[in-house]
Structure 1
């Protein structure tokens, strides 16, 4: 039997677990790599990885490695490879390109060079020209550039294997399926299940941990319900071998339910998210096996049918909002209390992005594993639930509650004077400009690392996370002083002030829900009415720094067709509609923000037949050739720095991907149209090749009002047009 080399990708921090898993399929470890492992083995083992890996993202069959110190060198290396062995005559393919170097500065250019080399190689051999298809190609070619070498492979999986097919919707901030599987493995669930233990998640959300635990314990292959894999139209595919693996998966799934089936019980106090969990359970084929029930943690009680041992595993809120950290510390304490009271003899696992709350659980942790939830560092804390492991929980107040008080009068007076100065300068400017929502203070003094925003009489305070060099107690003292001074200087009731801890965010984390008060305010901006929510999310629904951009759109939208990508709550679209745009299309992946955008447009009397808002993955929409015939006169694109939402097939990295996205936007832009491209990645560098292809003008300075001129890296902005 022939031996093949495979590169198998996975979430960061899971590499060693993945290596162990792949060895059980008959693959031998060659070496570890960041977010993946190199292995070798027979094709049967590669097929098994596609069907059975609970941890992998993609299984890539290594074809060859070529020199790629220049575009020409890359092309020459690709042309020489035998592509007829991998792409059928008249077939279709696509290229996924990752990486860059001095000569290949953007992924679209690199992908195009690979495509050119493949097409020319096949045509040069006298075979029909293959088609390039971004959607549903016969095969997907993986090209990964590292320094001056390009690893070329065939993506056997065809899609990210974390997408099992059961979760087409999810609750708030869901775990990806393969990360959930990694957490279960680290928690020792397979051994606990084999010993007759049960599984409970007291805050189950959309049920991912429950479902993955059931699939694992019942020996159900995670790829069993996938309709198609990336190798099925590959010329080297071995259908009989694959059929035998599929039949084995069906047999094992049947046999896995014949013995004792553990209890899989999930609880949550949110009825809506439980409805989503129930649908996910049905799609996974686990109805009647996995159960969910509406119940708050405080009401949790052991059931008589449960075993004397098991695993209680949960992913509680992380506590980004400072104003809720005392509540969250109490929540973590309740997890420990409930476990000791109801589940003595079980193992407890808490997967959290806020491991400092571990001391609030009231149990001694015997093991901690460092993992990543996307780019967010996270930790799995494991506890044996026994009375002898109990300890006095950390006082919830010590884990986050900040009581307003003056600790250092001289230092506090400096902040008071600074705020008074800003009220006089920025406050007077805002009143003269009839601006009701603005930033009053943005870490003007390093001792007080806060952003203070005014929302028509309400105050929104964000505490930037102190660097590790700053003593935590000192940071809390300064925040306590600020919370004492702000209401006094601004002459407001402290009840009208909301305080949050805000870290420098990446990706969609800024959009994750934190609470459910449902308290919305209606504010005015240049004649537009907009909904904001100061409590429930890390951001309020209105990015204040983009106020001049929105105003410019309003002043220049008359009679134009407007496209708003990554539209968030649709504020820019509202300004376009109020400014007389003839029609608009706004796209965002979040149903919450799509509905919010619709509400904002409705508040301003926009005709819903002309001003459409749709839930869509903007990356997929831009890549879809079927949307390329939609033309717009004005496009606004303000993507997140990083996104790896479970709804996405891939990962968005604005530095890596912006060149492709800009070019795709330009395909949809009318001849004399304008693309406004903005982002808030502080280290961002615009693809230099864009200036050669289009008229590019940086307009950042003109998009910063007086309240953001002290923080000129808050965003960068360009106007991009077709060359005349």
Structure 2
């Protein structure tokens, strides 16, 4: 009897075993993200057609040791490939490796491809072509501990691709994941009772569509137009067609017997339109009742019998999104308590705090992965006996209750830091400042005060730190800082700071648009506390901005390279200085213009230039030599933005950058050069008439003395006639 491998996502193995056992005479052995199956070809076709959970069905054709590329090539070359396809057909190769010396997936696939091509060329005089999208035959190699399992991929493409999803909403779940949710909810096993099902945050409609496929006993593979076996030489078309015909008969019979009521809603009308279109493509649109509206304003379906609510709320992948997501779960739990007593629910969550926020004790929790994200399925009976009392709101009066010893240490440190800064902040009239910066290793975050708001940047924890432990520490930071600094929870904004690459340096992190106007001396600035990793105002440059304004006089011209939101230029412009602001980002340049307008500055006296600063300098040295009395240069440490032809590295580029910039200085003019590369080494040697001095201490404010973020230097050109 043939043997097959059926792959699945992690956490699906038990469900897949049960599903395959329900399909007939099949022997099943569970593995990790795969199930080993012994069955005949009729049942193999049935698995491909009917499995709602599987990813791929693989037919092993060879097994061998392959410790290096030569061994892999030779073993593949020795196989009789003409038994599977001809030189006139197309093929593709997938390669997956675990705990083996051959690790590179693309290279492994290339060696297998080369061996197959060489086999056909040398034995038949021609070679087959490669088609990575829809090949006639797809070869799949799975390496584990240097042992290769070479298979024919009978599914062709992952079985979760049913063929009905033309578009999706934000953060969609895959079709097989939706099916797993329906199985785990218990609804699928109650189909005989025609129990209703409702997804109140349906997105692109995947859960509702999969529910109708189950309710109408429709094989999920009936909608697919491509398989990996139909062009394979061993394909048994009559056997396959018999399974297809039998599946169509079952579908028609189930529809004739009546279908359970399915309901779906979403607050976004455009998303509902996508869901409707997907349902029509799946041929099930007539069985779903759609509604547009936020769940908080909608009512339970008007059905007398008990039913099921199955949904995937927006749980947030980044830690800074989890707070707003927790509010949604809290409101969703209140909605269930109000309208769905006696019904059941299954809710997807990526954070155990979401389960707490629901306020209903789960009768079962299933752990699995949604792509790379660890998730939980919370199975709930909406019964008053399972309702959990709402947790006490945290306030400045009670936030210390129940704190762990480490959280108490955090509280003490924040209180101590705030007390030491109090007189300084009052004397300098500073309302935006840093109060804590990873002073305690277990609480690795920076806490900045923006008047009546807090901006918390968590430094991403190491990969070996337990995710739940990291989240508990972040919760401690939020709770303690809220209480110690008397800031309400809805005015606390949390982000995770990791090393940024390429376009990530400029990418929007969220879309909440929490814009706030803050004061710095006589100037006002727009800060965005929610949407970007940085707020638009670097607090550690406060003294640098003051110094630039001090150096500026009416009639001077200031050049601000890598200007960001041009906050430094604002201070100088308020002294009557004309400014030229250069940055590669239109977003930041527009932001800078708004900062100028906030302070009543005439934009016609100031330039905002979108350009690569290095390229702009190369041209400016001939066009604007000696034109600027003050130049501010605060470049990124590294950038490989797609908008740049080559990457920028401050250590490599600073010498040429400063050599060009000094040519733009007017006699007596000064350059303030700053960067935050911790291992930076100044290698620039100034010209004979230019002096160079490090002034990091002069530009480091008291709230950053504990952990200075930047180093800075002043370059000054001698006045004409002086030496």
C-alpha distance in structure 2 between counterparts of 1:398 and 1:495, whole Å: 9
Change (3 A) 1:68 1:415: farther
Secondary structure of 1:359's counterpart equals helix
Structure 1 residue 40 displacement after superposition: 1.9
Work out the number of aligned pairs and report it: 559
Change (3 A) 1:227 1:80: same
On the 8 A contact 1:345/1:384 being kept in 2, the answer is yes
Residue 390 (1) aligns with residue 399 (2): no
On the 8 A contact 2:100/2:144 being kept in 1, the answer is no
C-alpha distance in structure 2 between counterparts of 1:514 and 1:194, whole Å: 46
Alignment-derived partner of residue 251 in structure 1: 249
C-alpha distance in structure 2 between counterparts of 1:511 and 1:280, whole Å: 34
Residue 315 (1) aligns with residue 312 (2): yes
- Unpaired stretches in structure 1, ≥5 consecutive residues: 424-436, 488-492, 523-530, 545-552, 556-573, 579-602, 607-634, 639-672, 679-697, 712-724
Summarize the alignment of residues 681-720 of structure 1 with structure 2, pairs less than 5 Å apart: 706-707=675-676, 709=678
Summarize the alignment of residues 231-242 of structure 1 with structure 2, pairs less than 5 Å apart: 231-242=229-240
- Unpaired stretches in structure 2, ≥5 consecutive residues: 402-406, 426-431, 518-525, 539-560, 564-582, 588-607, 612-638, 658-673, 681-723
- Segment drifting more, 217-226 vs 350-359: 350-359
Alignment-derived partner of residue 461 in structure 1: 456
Residue 350 (1) aligns with residue 347 (2): yes
Q: 2:73 aligns with which of 57, 75, 78?
A: 75
Cα deviation 1:484-522 (Å, max 9, x = unaligned)? 7789xxxxx999975226498999999999975355799
Cα deviation 1:401-437 (Å, max 9, x = unaligned)? 99799966642255559999xx9xxxxxxxxxxxxx9
Change (3 A) 1:117 1:320: closer
C-alpha distance in structure 1 between counterparts of 2:57 and 2:437, whole Å: 46
C-alpha distance in structure 2 between counterparts of 1:33 and 1:92, whole Å: 31
Alignment-derived partner of residue 411 in structure 1: 413
Structure 1 residue 84 displacement after superposition: 0.8
- Normalised by the length of structure 2, the TM-score is 0.65
- Segment drifting more, 196-205 vs 411-420: 411-420
- Normalised by the length of structure 1, the TM-score is 0.65
Say which one has the larger Rg: 2
Structure 1 residue 184 displacement after superposition: 0.9
Alignment-derived partner of residue 156 in structure 1: 154
Cα deviation 1:223-244 (Å, max 9, x = unaligned)? 2111111111111111222222
Q: 1:6 aligns with which of 4, 9, 30?
A: 4
Change (3 A) 1:268 1:151: same
Change (3 A) 1:700 1:340: farther
Cα-Cα RMSD: 5.2
Alignment-derived partner of residue 444 in structure 2: 449
Residue 293 (1) aligns with residue 291 (2): yes
Change (3 A) 1:79 1:324: closer
On the 8 A contact 1:416/1:485 being kept in 2, the answer is no
Cα deviation 1:638-667 (Å, max 9, x = unaligned)? 9xxxxxxxxxxxxxxxxxxxxxxxxxxxxx
On the 8 A contact 2:60/2:151 being kept in 1, the answer is yes
Change (3 A) 1:373 1:80: same
- Segment drifting more, 25-34 vs 81-90: 25-34
Alignment-derived partner of residue 191 in structure 2: 193
Residue 273 (1) aligns with residue 271 (2): yes
Determine which structure has greater relative contact order: mean sequence separation of CA pairs < 8 Å that are 6+ residues apart, divided by chain length. Answer: 1
Secondary structure of 1:370's counterpart equals strand
C-alpha distance in structure 2 between counterparts of 1:482 and 1:541, whole Å: 19
Cα deviation 1:249-279 (Å, max 9, x = unaligned)? 3222222211121111112222232222222
Secondary structure of 2:257's counterpart equals coil
Change (3 A) 1:441 1:49: farther
- Segment drifting more, 226-235 vs 449-458: 449-458
C-alpha distance in structure 2 between counterparts of 1:512 and 1:396, whole Å: 37
On the 8 A contact 1:359/1:393 being kept in 2, the answer is no
